Structure 1
Amino acid sequence: MKDNKLKQMSLDDLWDLHERIGAILSDKIESEKKKLEQQLDQLARRVAELSPPGPERRPYPKVEAKYRNPDNPSETWSGRGKTPRWLAKLIAAGRKLDEFRIQ
């Protein structure tokens, strides 16, 4: 449609045209979305078929706690991994790690 024809249309006709265009756009967008989802599903299946299964992790034994927070006895640490904040704060304040060892 030419710009002149649009300018000559009444408000009701323009609104009707707007609603029809919105409905058509909505249908086309939904159709494209379904096509893209189908393509993604196909790609995901291909990737799953081509990729080897990952190695299973071996079970690790439970590690007992070695250190306990004196201010909050429910906070413990096994000595593995990153030092917990409560322990790092106490050590920075001059305390020794052995002071928190569980007997």
Structure 2
Amino acid sequence: MTVQCFEIIAHGRVQEVGFRYGTMQIATQLNITGSVQNLPNGTVKIIAEGDQHNLDKFISLIQKGPTPFAKVSKLEVKDLPTAQYRLFIIK
């Protein structure tokens, strides 16, 4: 199992729609660790670490929107060094 880590910036209607909580639920189901936080510019930053298969599934589900009210217009994904996070938290 190869562990990878990504920084994901979600654009669109991603604040005040339960996005962070929904993201945490998906991450927990897929054994993804890291964090999710709102940024001042209206985007949401996700740090996601896990195995490649689960990360692919995670990114796909985030793109669709983790809640019915969220509308993701764009995801920016970039590689980060792994950091061996223990949990997935909302910041």
| Greater fraction helix | 1
- Give 1 or 2 for the bigger CA radius of gyration: 1
What is the TM-score normalised by the length of structure 1?
0.22
What is the TM-score normalised by the length of structure 2?
0.24
RCO comparison, higher one (Cα < 8 Å, 6+)? 2
